Amino acid sequence: MNTYRVLESGADLRKLVERLYPLCRSITGDGVRRTLDILGEHLPLTVHEVPTGTRVLDWTVPQEWNIRDAYVKDATGRRVIDFRESNLHVVGYSVPVSRTMPLAELREHLHTLPEHPAWVPYRTSYYAPAWGFCLAQDALDALPDGDYEVCVDSTLDDGSLTYAEHVVPGRVAEEVLVSCHTCHPSLANDNLAGIAIAAAFAQGIENPHYTYRFLFMPGTIGAITWLARNRERTGRIRAGLVLACAGDPGSLTYKRSRRGDAEIDRVLAYVLSGRSHTITDFSPYGYDERQFCSPGFDLGVGSLTRTPYAGYPEYHTSADDLGFLSTEAMSETLDVLRDAQAVLDRDRTYVNLSPYGEPQLGKRGLYDSLGGRSDAKQAQLAMLWVLNLSDGEHSLLDVAQRSGLPFDSVAAAADALHDAGLLEG
């Protein structure tokens, strides 16, 4: 029997991020596999390898990229740019290079952030053969003219795209998706925090109503590949969330699905209502919600972040490091996911089987069951609201929102009324 390492606290989430942080990930390659190996210590995963050249919707799975080393050496042999120091120093998917060239020529392949001269940017070149290095502007300014030895010891060969799934079976076949991307190298918030939080969330789900499917895959091409291979499954998707930028100190942000009024949109608006948050409308720009919400699929999938996509200066830079990550923020994001699951799994639409006048609750023992409870008045009020709005059109979430009562109280009242034969649904 496998024994999985439990993620019980915010400190555990941070420790997982710290283990994953040094790995050089991209949209393909051994860094992704190693990431999933570590994740597999916490969750049972089904890992998929999709061969290079496979057609996936309008895309094609690219060649697999791996890198062993990369550097730029000055005339003394000193590494002035060193992949071993940080994997952000190399443009992702750089083709192999072994040359000596003057600084003027090398500059055409160097990327900096002049507005943040001490930070190293994160850059990629997935679908156009190229090579390059990223470095701090301060470091570039310190380079003297002269010749430099340039080496990118990488491979770009036929291989596969790797992604993983974890499924928590529910009582029904309808599914809730939780997706996060695995393609970024040493970026703590985007998206290692999301990976760790998704794993902890998955661990805590027990006997859910819906089936929960967790997807760990590279951005864009991963979601497109999953959708291409699972078209028949998309009809079962009840709701979904794309999780990203989940651990920065900013307040929570929920981006609605393309539909704008999908169940997940209403649930997240409700569970966020007591917290500092922002809700934005859908746009086809951001993370993989844009794939799940493409018009041919139009799934009820939103996006949960803290500071949104590209919304903080540290985004896609070396400043998105372990020090930028907030353990408290990660814990809060996890709490929101758990709250959302609690509402999703218990939200139902009922029909009142005694709709003509208020049914007598006392003779059914419903009032007696409340005797002595400190929340007896609230529980009684919840029963009356549920009975009144259970017309086949209002869900329990509608009842909670209209009544102002806690969802848990409304759901408990519905359970009691259903058991007493007063509700059907």
Kindly report, residue by residue over 391-420, the tens digit of the pLDDT.
999 999 999 999 999 999 999 999 999 999
Cα–Cα distance measured from residue 185 to residue 97, given in angstroms and rounded to the nearest whole number: 21
Class of domain 349-424: mainly alpha
Same fold across 64-157 and 349-424: no
Tell me how crowded residue 58 is: count the other CB atoms within 10 A of its CB.
Answer: 7
d(CA 222, CA 32): 12
d(CA 212, CA 205): 9
Residue 183 CA, chain-centre distance (Å), reads 12
pTM over 0.85? The answer is: yes
Contact between 216 and 225 (Cβ < 8 Å): no
Strand 160-168 relative to strand 211-217, pairing: antiparallel
Mean pLDDT over the full length of the chain = 96
Report domain extents, the chain. Answer: 10-62+160-345, 64-157, 349-424
To which residue do tokens 């071993």 refer? 84
Contact 70, 90 (CB under 8 A): yes
Residue 296 main-chain phi, psi, to 5 deg: -70, -25
Concatenated DSSP letters of 207-267 = S-SSEEEEEEE-TTHHHHHHHHH-GGGGGGEEEEEEE-S-SSSSPEEEE--SSSS-HHHHH
73 strand-pairing partners:
79, 149
- Crossing angle for the helix pair 194-204 and 327-346, to the nearest 10 degrees: 40
Q: What is the CATH number of domain 64-157?
A: 3.50.30.90
Helix axes 376-389, 396-403, angle to 10 degrees: 120
The closest of 382, 387, 384, 388 to 411, measured between CA atoms, is 382
State the CATH class of domain 10-62+160-345: alpha beta
Radius of gyration of the chain (CA): 25
10 Å CB burial of residue 296 (0-12, 13-18, 19+) is exposed
Q: How do the pLDDT tens digits run along the chain, 425 residues long?
A: 578 999 999 999 999 999 999 999 999 999 999 999 999 999 999 999 999 999 999 999 999 999 999 999 999 999 999 999 999 999 999 999 999 999 999 999 999 999 999 999 999 999 999 999 999 999 999 999 999 999 999 999 999 999 999 999 999 999 999 999 999 999 999 999 999 999 999 999 999 999 999 999 999 999 999 999 999 999 999 999 999 999 999 999 999 999 999 999 999 999 999 899 999 999 999 999 999 999 999 999 999 999 999 999 999 999 999 999 999 999 999 999 999 999 999 999 999 999 999 999 888 888 765 555 557 788 889 999 999 999 999 999 999 999 999 999 999 999 999 999 999 98
Q: Burial, 371: exposed, middle or buried (Cβ in 10 Å; 0-12, 13-18, 19+)? A: exposed
Amino acid at 121: P
| Tokens found for residue 416 | 């009691």
Identify whether the C-beta of residue 192 lies closer than 8 Å to the C-beta of residue 87.
no
The residue with tokens 């799994």 is 345
CA dihedral (139, 142, 147, 153) in degrees, to 10, reads -10
| DSSP labels, 35-79 | HHHHHTTTS--EEEEEETT-EETTEE---EEEEEEEEEE-TTS-E
In the three-class reduction of DSSP (H, G, I as helix; E, B as strand; rest coil), residue 5 is classed as: coil
